[in-house]
Amino acid sequence: MRRLNLTGLVLVSLFLALPLHAPYAQQSQSVRVATAAAAPSSYFDAERSAADRITADEMKEILYYIASDDMLGRDTPSPGLDKTAQYIADHLKKFKLKPAGDRGTYFQHITLSRTQVDRENTKVSLGDKAFKVGEDFLPFGRVSGDAEGQVVYAGHGWVINSKNVNAYDGLDVRDRVVVVSGDGTTPPQGLSVENLPSADWESPVSYAQKHGAKALVLIPRNFERRWRFGANALTRPILTVTRLENAADDEDEDEAEAAPPKGLVEILPSRAMLSALFAGEQADGARVLQASIAGEQLKGFALAPSKLLSLSVKLSVTEASTQNVVAVLEGKDSTLKKEYVALGAHYDHVGTNNPGCRPVGDDKICNGADDDGSGTTSLITMAEAFSKGPRPKRSILFVWHAGEEKGLWGSEYFTRFPTIPLKQVVAQLNIDMIGRSKKAGDTNPANRMLTGPDEIYVIGSRMMSDELADKNVAVNSAYLNLKYNYHYDEPNDPERLFYRSDHFNYAKHGVPIIFFFDGVHEDYHRPTDSPDKIDYQKMQSVARTIFILASELANAPTRPVVDKQIPAEQMAR
Ligand SMILES: [Zn+2]
């Protein structure tokens, strides 16, 4: 599971300011009293015997390989991740599952861009004063280019017609460099554009671009944090998924891969640069920065015409690649086999000596046994159990996602460019961290939220489909009766777990999901998340339960009814 990212942290503070979403709180309560409404199907006994093929011993063997030091923490992209992908594919071939990646393979190829700042050739100057990259400014976006112009400050830069908001009112931005309070794409607090028709509003970036501006100087609310993280970007290349960035339409792969990023050159200024830029103006640099950080609405103005800002941003972009691993077990019913029950896990982790992996002594390899070696392994053993029959009516789709830790890349890619029709996916069950349990007498505060040996967090099951949630409860109570914990089943939870793993992208596309998760623990994203710490009995119990749930969903006469959508404001990441 990925950490809360920059955007996530900003959203946390926004959400905390909102009242608790009462209807959801009530719903979570009702989950506890919802009991086995529907008894398991007539397939139940056969499903139980099939589930018995998922064993702790086999899981242990697989996980010790996937989470070994040889894989170097399965960073995306990395040779260790590729090796893991091949290992999964070798198993799938042995189980005779149908390849469902690109061109008859188990791999869905994902092209990545590696962007590195060319420090020598990245320069900004104001008249004859030169600013230094890394000290006075940082490239903000991923666009290379040169620009020069007089400077306009555009306040928060948003134009929202139906709300009578126009930060650009009275300002001419043609051939100018525009300074904006904000990151250019996130509306200021209280000015949401969710649910507004796109013709009604312009973001600061799109307005500037359409009206002939030359470049943007962005002062985001998380200015300090951007600076802390941005300095990293000068020494490490920034990785992005090429096709996700460029594809306006999802149709033409080749064109999308070839197009360089479009738009204006963008920079993040330092305090010193802001004070030089705004010296002698109606608001000085400190005032503009203060307003930007506070989200305060400061009126825009044109700066003295004598101030000419020149920018040269040079970024070098190289290609890299990774892959999702995708397979299908074809259903036996000639009609229902066109529908799929999706099982997902992420097989990547945070690598070795990365900023997201805190070393423990000399050990810098984050093995990711629980995160998400446990889900990866579970899916392999479930694929094997399914492959030995009995074959369910619907098809089963298995996706091992890459790049989850980088920002849910693999699942975003798969749901944007699915290799099977996504509308035919009746539910997605995401397994991310199910291998750890809290031992009796453990008082370590870092393990406070870790679930016990017979317990698992169930997240999001009731957000879109009561029928799916009820089925999950019914299967569990007729089978191993694990303790389902719904603590995180609350959209305003500050941990934002619903948004932090791959199921989120399926939910975004209207697929009802369930996320199974054991809880954050002392070894989360540390080299000590190793296979010797796994509770293999728990992993077996949880995986067997999910296996039976998937079988029940695959054999049900109808797909689970999606009876509600997640509110739009909750879906904005
Ligand atoms: Zn993680």
H or E segment at 228?
Answer: helix 223-235
Ligand 1 centre and the CA of 350: distance in Å?
7
Ligand 1 centre and the CA of 205: distance in Å?
32
Per-residue pLDDT, 238: 83
Ligand 1 centre and the CA of 467: distance in Å?
29
Per-residue pLDDT, 317: 86
What does the pLDDT look like over 508-545, one tens digit per residue?
999 999 999 999 999 999 999 999 999 999 999 999 99
Burial 391-421 (b: 16+ CB within 10 A, else e): bbbbbbbbbbbbbbbbbbbbbbbbbbbbbbe
Residue 28 sits at φ, ψ, to 5 deg, of -60, -35
Per-residue pLDDT, 15: 25
Per-residue pLDDT, 28: 39
Ligand 1 centre and the CA of 372: distance in Å?
7
Ligand 1 centre and the CA of 6: distance in Å?
15
pTM for the whole structure: 0.80
Ligand 1 centre and the CA of 261: distance in Å?
29
Contact 154, 167 (CB under 8 A): yes
Residue type for position 32: R
DSSP per position, 196-220? S-GGGEE-HHHHHHHTT--EEEEE-
Calpha distance 148→213 (Å, rounded): 10
Ligand 1 centre and the CA of 370: distance in Å?
9
Ligand 1 centre and the CA of 402: distance in Å?
12
Per-residue pLDDT, 172: 96
Per-residue pLDDT, 495: 87
Residue type for position 563: D
- In whole angstroms, what separates CA 407 from the centre of its chain? 4
Q: Could you tell me which residues come within 8 angstroms of residue 14 by beta carbon, excluding any fewer than 6 positions away?
A: 189
How would you class 309 by CB atoms within 10 Å of its CB: exposed for 0-12, middle for 13-18, buried for 19 or more? buried
Per-residue pLDDT, 11: 27
Q: Which two tokens stand for residue 300?
A: 């825009």
Per-residue pLDDT, 38: 57
Ligand 1 centre and the CA of 345: distance in Å?
11
How would you class 62 by CB atoms within 10 Å of its CB: exposed for 0-12, middle for 13-18, buried for 19 or more? buried
Total number of residues shown for the chain: 573
Ligand 1 centre and the CA of 66: distance in Å?
15
Calpha distance 377→141 (Å, rounded): 38
Ligand 1 centre and the CA of 394: distance in Å?
31
Ligand 1 centre and the CA of 1: distance in Å?
3
Ligand 1 centre and the CA of 120: distance in Å?
36
Residue 210 sits at φ, ψ, to 5 deg, of -65, -25
Residues of the chain with pLDDT under 50: 6-36, 248-258, 573
Residue type for position 221: R
Ligand 1 centre and the CA of 348: distance in Å?
9
Ligand 1 centre and the CA of 222: distance in Å?
23
Calpha distance 290→294 (Å, rounded): 6
What does the pLDDT look like over 71-127, one tens digit per residue?
999 999 999 999 999 999 999 999 999 999 999 999 999 999 998 999 999 999 999
Calpha distance 412→405 (Å, rounded): 12
Ligand 1 centre and the CA of 2: distance in Å?
4
Alpha-carbon distance values, 530 to 267, 271, 526 (Å): 41, 43, 9
Angle between the N-to-C axes of helices 44-51 and 536-555, in degrees from 0 to 180, rounded to the nearest 10: 150
Ligand 1 centre and the CA of 321: distance in Å?
20
Ligand 1 centre and the CA of 68: distance in Å?
17
